[in-house]
């Protein structure tokens, strides 16, 4: 089943980078990423392939397991790409940081994710 770009953006945020359970995270990665996918992180560099994305998503989540990602705007779509703006922090507290995820898709799956950190709104 092909996912829409807004669905891919939300699933990446919640089910991949927001997921603490490694098995659930991996199932989501296998479902929404292409075999040749790439994640560009301004802090940790380039992560190529599902295994590398799985590893870095686990490292990121483990660094703040109680944080939750919260979209602050509806996903935007242009051609085969899209973006979603979000904040992250402990539920009930002010957000600790903010960012934007840009994705490029092919056949209903993510080919590339570009992470940008933003100033808090």
Cβ atoms within 10 A of the Cβ of 92, count? Answer: 6
CA–CA dist 70, 6 (Å, integer): 14
What is residue 1's predicted lDDT score, i.e. its pLDDT?
55
Domain that holds residue 80: 5-118
The CATH number covering residue 112 comes to: 3.10.450.50
Q: What are phi and psi of 47, to 5 degrees?
A: -125, 115
Listed residue (25, 34, 50, 54) closest to 105, CA to CA: 34
DSSP state, residue 75: -
CA–CA dist 12, 18 (Å, integer): 8
DSSP state, residue 93: S
Domain count, the chain: 1
- In order along its 121 residues, the chain shows pLDDT tens digits of 578 999 999 999 999 999 999 999 999 999 999 999 999 999 999 999 999 999 999 999 999 999 999 999 999 999 999 999 999 999 999 999 999 999 999 999 999 999 999 999 8
Q: What is the pTM of this model?
A: 0.95
- Dig out the tokens for 92 from the structure: 């009930």
- Dig out the tokens for 14 from the structure: 């919640």
């Amino acid at each position: 089943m092909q996912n829409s770009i807004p669905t891919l953006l939300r699933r990446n945020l919640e089910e991949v980078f927001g997921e603490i359970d490694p098995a659930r995270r991996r199932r989501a990665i296998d479902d929404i990423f292409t075999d040749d996918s790439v994640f560009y992180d301004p802090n940790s560099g380039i992560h190529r392939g599902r295994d590398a994305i799985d590893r870095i998503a686990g490292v990121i989540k483990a660094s703040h397991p109680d944080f939750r990602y919260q979209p602050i705007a509806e996903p935007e779509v242009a051609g085969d790409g899209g973006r979603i703006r979000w904040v992250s922090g402990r539920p009930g507290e002010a957000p600790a940081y903010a960012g934007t995820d840009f994705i490029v898709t092919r056949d209903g799956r993510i080919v590339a994710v570009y992470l940008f950190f933003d100033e808090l709104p």
